[in-house]
């Protein structure tokens, strides 16, 4: 079958896997496949971000369980950091989602960020659209939460959850610069830990100071599925503050895809090898090198 003829559908996981592989690797037919996508269902994309160690994978696991119990078909795109040294994908904490790998209503795919500066790449947008077009009820995207990825997820997701833990420390300060703008809700995970109430109180105070009283703060213990139902109710209720700025989200997606296409002929691995040779010249100058490259 020609790759452009593949119609990914949530009733046929094999067709989705093939479609995602074609799009991720820019194989023949990728462009036609993306252009042929039809969005018959208004599938919300739910972004879950936050610092490493916040228990995002465990939280996603609990959300999948609760959403599936309500009769939903769920797709998960787990974004993994690409090592700058071996260009590989680090899939360590995905093991926590294994209970759902063979569930007929759950599709899970990991995606390496391919060195994208903020942790998300244009491929994430395209692959999320393939999953939306396949007719899932919800698409969950879990990001690495490193660098700018928290901010970038806002350009992709309809609902963005920022996950923190009581001992996040400096994170509470970072909220003042950036995270507040992109969070539709905060989740304090591992809420059975010391100082959870104090941390939650301080976070709510910051939210009030910024005049964002509409942003809820949920407390969860994902490992015990505690507090998960409240988060799921928020997702299912369609309380979507971004509905009034769909154009902004679309423009952000378009910008990322244009950026990727313009950079398509720059092979990072080849650049690394070429620069390694050029660097042997004692008169090496980065800007002269770039002119020639």
The answer to whether position 13 is within a domain reads no
Q: CA-to-CA distance for 183 and 159, rounded, in angstroms? A: 8
Q: Give the pLDDT confidence score for residue 242 in this predicted structure.
A: 54
The answer to whether position 1 is within a domain reads no
Residues ≥6 apart with Cβ < 8 Å to 193: 165, 166, 167
Tokens of 117: 């500066």
Asked whether 139 and 150 are in contact (CB, 8 A), the reply is no
Tokens of 287: 């800007």
Tell whether 282 and 257 lie within a shared domain. Answer: no
Nearest to 131 by CA among 283, 17, 273: 17
The answer to whether position 65 is within a domain reads yes
Residues in the chain where the model's pLDDT stays below 70: 1-6, 81-101, 113-121, 144-152, 154-155, 168-180, 239-246, 249
The answer to whether position 139 is within a domain reads yes
Question: 186 vs 66, 116, 199, 254, CA distance in Å?
Answer: 18, 25, 12, 27
Tell whether 271 and 142 lie within a shared domain. Answer: no
The answer to whether position 32 is within a domain reads no
The answer to whether position 226 is within a domain reads yes
Tell whether 74 and 124 lie within a shared domain. Answer: yes
φ and ψ at residue 8, rounded to 5 degrees? -65, 130
Q: Give the pLDDT confidence score for residue 251 in this predicted structure.
A: 80
For the chain, the domain total comes to 2
Residues ≥6 apart with Cβ < 8 Å to 194: 166
Tell whether 229 and 273 lie within a shared domain. Answer: no
Q: CA-to-CA distance for 131 and 129, rounded, in angstroms? A: 5
| pTM for the structure as a whole | 0.82
Its domain, for residue 245, covers 38-262
Q: Give the pLDDT confidence score for residue 118 in this predicted structure.
A: 42
Asked whether 48 and 74 are in contact (CB, 8 A), the reply is no
The answer to whether position 52 is within a domain reads yes
């Amino acid at each position: 079958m020609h790759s452009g003829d593949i119609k990914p559908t949530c009733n046929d996981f094999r067709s989705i896997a093939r479609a995602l592989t074609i799009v991720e690797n820019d194989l023949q037919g990728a462009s036609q496949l993306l252009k042929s996508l039809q969005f018959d269902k208004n599938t919300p994309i739910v972004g879950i971000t936050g610092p490493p160690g916040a228990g995002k994978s465990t939280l996603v696991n609990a959300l999948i369980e609760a959403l599936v119990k309500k009769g939903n078909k769920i797709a998960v795109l787990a974004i993994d950091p690409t090592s700058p040294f071996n260009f590989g994908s680090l899939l360590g904490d995905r093991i926590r989602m294994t209970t759902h790998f063979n569930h007929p209503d759950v599709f899970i795919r990991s995606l390496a960020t391919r060195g994208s500066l903020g942790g998300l790449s244009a491929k994430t947008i395209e692959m999320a659209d393939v999953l939306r077009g396949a007719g899932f009820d919800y698409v969950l995207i879990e990001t690495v939460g490193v660098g700018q990825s928290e901010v970038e997820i806002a350009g992709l997701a309809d609902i963005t959850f920022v996950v923190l833990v009581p001992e996040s420390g400096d994170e509470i300060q970072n909220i003042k610069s950036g995270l507040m703008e992109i969070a539709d809700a905060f989740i304090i995970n591992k809420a059975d830990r010391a100082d959870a109430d104090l941390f939650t109180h301080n976070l709510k105070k910051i939210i009030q100071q910024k005049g964002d009283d509409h942003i809820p703060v949920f407390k969860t213990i994902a490992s015990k599925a505690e507090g998960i139902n409240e988060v799921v109710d928020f997702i299912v209720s369609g309380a979507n503050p971004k509905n009034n700025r769909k154009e902004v989200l679309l423009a952000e997606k378009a910008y990322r895809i244009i950026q990727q296409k313009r950079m398509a002929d720059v092979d990072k691995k080849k650049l690394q090898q070429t620069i390694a040779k050029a660097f042997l010249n004692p008169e090496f100058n980065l800007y002269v090198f770039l002119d020639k490259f």
